[in-house]
């Protein structure tokens, strides 16, 4: 007997709630919940270890709905298990200020682990969650005392598996042998606009097998064979490799649109909702109806975890008394607070000219021992990004305690994995690549900003000063793009001191930061205190006197501005130079501070080796922006700088012309 009448009712509760939510909103995706409800039922009721009363229990299994358009399925499960949504939340699906937005959003809805919807991201997030579990297990478990030990489950669809980010992440997960990662694939042969036979015909199981995964196919009864799904999940848990379970389902099961792409993303319509409920043998009225005995059964599922958690808590308490220092460290990291002492490096003029990427490497290595939760790596670039943590080991099969993560040449997965690492709790991840390749990972950076994950994105080789590699490797519009991203702090430090302060800011900031660093050496601009949290400050000139002209620069252009200031001063002009390591932090200051640093009545010039987009706010209508609004060129850096006007002489000339015109 593949399923019993009781199974069926419990599954149909998910289906009925989901289609009612979509119908009431007159918007949403009924197809996935109708087809995938059986596997969700088996997973949530028989395998997923969670405690509905405490969705934040650190050792809970993680569940990621990568196919985020199926959010009604997840919200129905959260409601049924009593994890914190009410029926009114389902009734307000997709409405303003509801707890049930169109796609799942972490920190917004209890029980939602990650923000999903952009397809493929969730699969990579799940890899990050599984990596976090593997690392924390290696760091904190002790013989006979296990306090981190959970699975990460991910439900994905065809769209997820068509996206490159999922392939990148799955390839890495296979290499890393993340045995506690289980991917349930809603293999319904339908995507949004068509059958997958027009787009996606390779053997998906064989693909995952080639990645080094354990793969299983469940092929019966339109995905309703709960016994087969149960057996597959049980086998997946027993296998030391990450597991891929393809469950053949029927999109829109039970509805008149079953098996067609029309079931994917439109409400069924009142008539079809009624017909679907009739097929499912479910009361057609009222909407959002769940019989008491079914709801009670689901609530018991949600309540079961209380005893799992209390058993774990006793083990945890024993571990904590045996390992008080380790426990203090773990609890601090989980709480997201920093250690009391961090050895920030000092930089003096004796360091001489240093590329900010090198300064970044020095900072990272100076603080890493004090901040054990800091883990990360690059997309196969750490000799260039300088982000290798010396002596702290490589995260590899057999050494999950290693703190250096090797993402390989997989920028997009790197970003999405970092989001998973952060959302797990207990870790502060950093990533690194060339700034130009931020575009490869932009979707993950955006989701980091949207979901507020504390990830430190390091980007080096930050401008045309990359030189000979040419315009393919020279960022132009990337700073403007990141600065336009809400909730993302962008830091472009001018020298070693500002680089240290950028790291200090990022580490203390409860959200994502990007640290944008040079490949080339930049001069040391003096031992000084840098008010990084203010975003900009006067680095040269009398801060109490209104200057004739203000030169505003970031990163490597601050020293250029200082050189230009010397030329202007030699001609008798009173100049102020403002270093602006973070435009958005400066923009967030009160107008009194902003106007004191960049007086609106002074003539103003901005200098930045990037697009000028956004700079007119700071130089004013009549001010001048020195930037690069076209692609770069392949040549020695100094030749490009001269060609594009990034010389002290040109900046001084631009400033002088502005003064004459003012």
Ligand X SMILES: Cc1ncc(C[n+]2csc(CCOP(=O)(O)OP(=O)(O)O)c2C)c(N)n1
Rounded distance, CA 653 to CA 645, Å?
A: 10
CB of 233 to ligand X, least distance (A): 20
DSSP track, 359-371: HHHHHHHHHTTT-
By CB under 6 A, residue 32 contacts ligand X: yes
Tabulate helix, strand, coil % of the chain (nearest 5). Answer: 45, 15, 40
356 phi, psi to nearest 5 deg: -70, -25
> Are 34 and 264 within 8 A, CB to CB?
no
Answer for which of 14, 16, 43, 67 binds ligand X (CB under 6 A) is 67
Work out how close the CB of 543 gets to ligand X at its nearest, in angstroms, rounded to a whole number.
48
- List, as one string, the DSSP characters of 291-335: -HHHHHHHHHHHHHHHHHHHHHHHHHHHHHHH-HHHHHHHHHHHH
Selected from 55, 82, 102, 117, the binder of ligand X by CB under 6 A is 117
| Closer Cβ to ligand X, 60 or 103, answer by number | 103
Beta strands in 25-180 (DSSP E): 62-65, 152-156
Shortest distance, position 203 Cβ to ligand X, whole Å: 17
Q: Minimal distance in Å, beta carbon 183 to ligand X? A: 13
Of 468, 510, 483, 420, nearest to 613 by C-alpha is: 483
Among 18, 22, 23, 31, binds ligand X (CB under 6 A): 31
Burial of 286 (0-12, 13-18, 19+ CB in 10 A): exposed
Among 85, 190, 551, 651, binds ligand X (CB under 6 A): 190
Contacts of 32 (CB under 8 A, 6+ apart): 67, 69, 70, 73, 157, 186, 251, 264
Closest CA to 246 of 219, 272, 270, 220: 219
Question: If binding is defined by CB under 6 A, does position 165 make contact with ligand X?
Answer: no
Binding part of the chain for ligand X, among 159-167, 458-466, 515-523, 538-546 by CB under 6 A, reads 159-167
Give the pairing type, strands 354-355 and 521-522.
antiparallel
The least distance separating ligand X from the CB of residue 29, rounded to whole angstroms, comes to 6
In whole angstroms, how far apart are CA 452 and each of 256, 263, 491, 514? 41, 33, 17, 13
Region for 555 from its dihedrals, namely left if φ exceeds 0, alpha if ψ lies in -120 to 50, beta otherwise: left
The nearer residue to ligand X, 192 or 342, going by C-beta atoms, is: 192
Judged by CB, which is closer to ligand X: 119, or 641? 119
Minimal distance in Å, beta carbon 38 to ligand X?
14
With respect to ligand X, which residue has the nearer C-beta, 119 or 368?
119
Instruction: Quote the least distance from Cβ 22 to ligand X, whole Å.
Output: 12
Q: Which is nearer to ligand X, 102 or 305 (CB)?
A: 102
- In the complex with ligand X, the residue whose CB is nearer, 167 or 559, is 167
Name the segment binding ligand X (CB under 6 A); options: 24-32, 173-181, 204-212, 235-243. Answer: 24-32
Interatomic CA distance for residues 523 and 54, integer angstroms = 52
Query: Any catalytic annotation for residue 411?
Result: yes
Residues in contact with 308: Cβ distance below 8 Å, sequence separation at least 6, in sequence order: 49, 51
Q: Which of 152, 188, 485, 579 touches ligand X by CB under 6 A?
A: 188
Nearer to ligand X, 20 or 158 (CB): 158
192 near ligand X, judged by CB under 6 A: yes
Q: What character string, x for contact with ligand X (CB under 6 A) and - otherwise, covers 240-279?
A: -----------x------------x---------------
Among 69, 406, 500, 540, binds ligand X (CB under 6 A): 69
- List 373, 411, 498, 608, catalytic entry: 411
Phi, psi values for residue 367, rounded to 5°? -95, -15
Q: How far apart are CA 43 and CA 230, in angstroms?
A: 8
Choosing from 20, 61, 89, 158, the residue that interacts with ligand X (CB under 6 A) is 158
Q: Which residues bind ligand X (CB under 6 A)?
A: 29, 31-32, 67, 69, 117-119, 157-160, 163, 186, 188, 190-192, 251, 264
Just list the catalytic residues: 411
């Amino acid at each position: 007997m593949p399923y019993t009448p009781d199974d069926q009712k419990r599954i149909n509760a998910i289906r009925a709630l989901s289609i009612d939510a979509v119908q009431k909103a007159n918007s949403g995706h009924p197809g996935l919940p109708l087809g995938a409800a059986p596997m969700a039922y088996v997973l949530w009721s028989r395998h997923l270890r969670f405690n509905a009363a405490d969705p934040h229990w650190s050792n809970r299994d993680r569940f990621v709905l990568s196919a985020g358009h199926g959010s009604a399925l997840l919200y129905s499960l959260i409601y049924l298990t009593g994890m914190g949504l009410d029926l009114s939340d389902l009734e307000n699906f997709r409405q303003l200020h509801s707890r049930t937005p169109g796609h799942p959003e972490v920190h917004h809805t209890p029980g939602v682990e990650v923000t999903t919807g952009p397809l493929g991201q969730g699969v990579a997030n799940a890899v990050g969650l599984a990596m976090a579990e593997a690392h924390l297990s290696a760091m904190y478990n002790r013989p006979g005392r296990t306090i981190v030990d959970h699975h990460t489950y991910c439900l994905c669809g065809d769209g997820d598996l068509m996206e490159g980010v999922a392939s990148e992440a799955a390839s890495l997960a296979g290499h890393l042998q993340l045995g506690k990662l289980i991917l349930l694939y809603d293999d319904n042969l339908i995507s949004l606009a068509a059958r997958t036979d027009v787009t996606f015909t390779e053997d998906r199981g064989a693909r995952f097998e080639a990645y080094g995964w354990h793969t299983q196919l469940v092929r019966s009864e339109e995905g309703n064979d709960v016994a087969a799904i149960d057996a597959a999940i049980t086998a997946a848990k027993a296998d030391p490799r990450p597991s891929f379970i393809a469950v053949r389902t029927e999109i829109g099961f039970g509805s008149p649109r079953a098996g067609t792409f029309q079931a994917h993303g439109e409400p069924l319509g009142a008539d079809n909702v009624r017909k679907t409920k009739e097929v499912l043998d479910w009361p057609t009225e009222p909407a959002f109806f769940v019989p008491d005995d079914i709801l009670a059964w689901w609530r018991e599922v949600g309540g079961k975890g209380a005893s799992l958690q209390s058993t774990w808590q006793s083990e945890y308490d024993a571990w904590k008394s045996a390992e008080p220092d380790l426990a203090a460290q773990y609890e601090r990291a989980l709480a997201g607070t920093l250690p009391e002492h961090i050895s920030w490096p000092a930089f003096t003029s004796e360091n001489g000219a240093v590329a900010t990427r090198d300064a970044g490497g020095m900072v990272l290595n100076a603080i890493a021992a004090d901040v054990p939760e800091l883990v990360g790596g690059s997309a196969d670039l750490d000799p260039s990004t300088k982000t290798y943590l010396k002596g702290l080991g490589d995260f590899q099969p057999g050494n999950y305690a290693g703190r250096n993560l090797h993402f390989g040449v997989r920028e997009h997965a790197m970003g999405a994995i970092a989001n998973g690492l952060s959302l797990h709790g207990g870790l502060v991840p950093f990533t690194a690549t060339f700034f130009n390749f931020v575009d490869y990972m932009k979707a993950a950076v955006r989701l980091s900003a949207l979901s507020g994950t504390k990830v430190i994105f390091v980007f080096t080789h930050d401008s045309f000063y990359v030189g000979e590699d040419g315009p393919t490797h020279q960022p132009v519009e990337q700073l403007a793009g990141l600065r336009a991203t809400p909730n993302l702090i962008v830091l472009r430090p001018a020298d070693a001191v500002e680089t240290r302060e950028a790291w200090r800011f990022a580490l203390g900031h409860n959200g994502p930061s990007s640290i944008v660093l040079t490949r080339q050496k930049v001069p040391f601009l003096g031992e000084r205190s840098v008010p990084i949290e203010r975003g900009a400050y006067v680095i040269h000139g009398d801060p109490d006197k209104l200057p004739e002209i203000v030169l505003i620069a970031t990163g490597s252009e601050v020293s250029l501005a200082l050189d230009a200031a010397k030329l202007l001063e030699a001609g008798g002009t009173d100049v102020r130079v403002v270093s602006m390591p973070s435009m958005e932090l400066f923009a967030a200051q009160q107008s009194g501070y902003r106007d004191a640093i960049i007086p609106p009545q002074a003539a103003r010039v901005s200098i930045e080796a990037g697009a000028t987009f956004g700079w007119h706010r700071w130089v004013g209508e009549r001010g001048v922006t020195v930037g690069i609004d076209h692609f770069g060129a392949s040549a020695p850096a100094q030749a490009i700088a001269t060609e594009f006007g990034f010389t002290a002489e040109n900046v001084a000339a631009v400033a002088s012309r502005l003064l004459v015109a003012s």
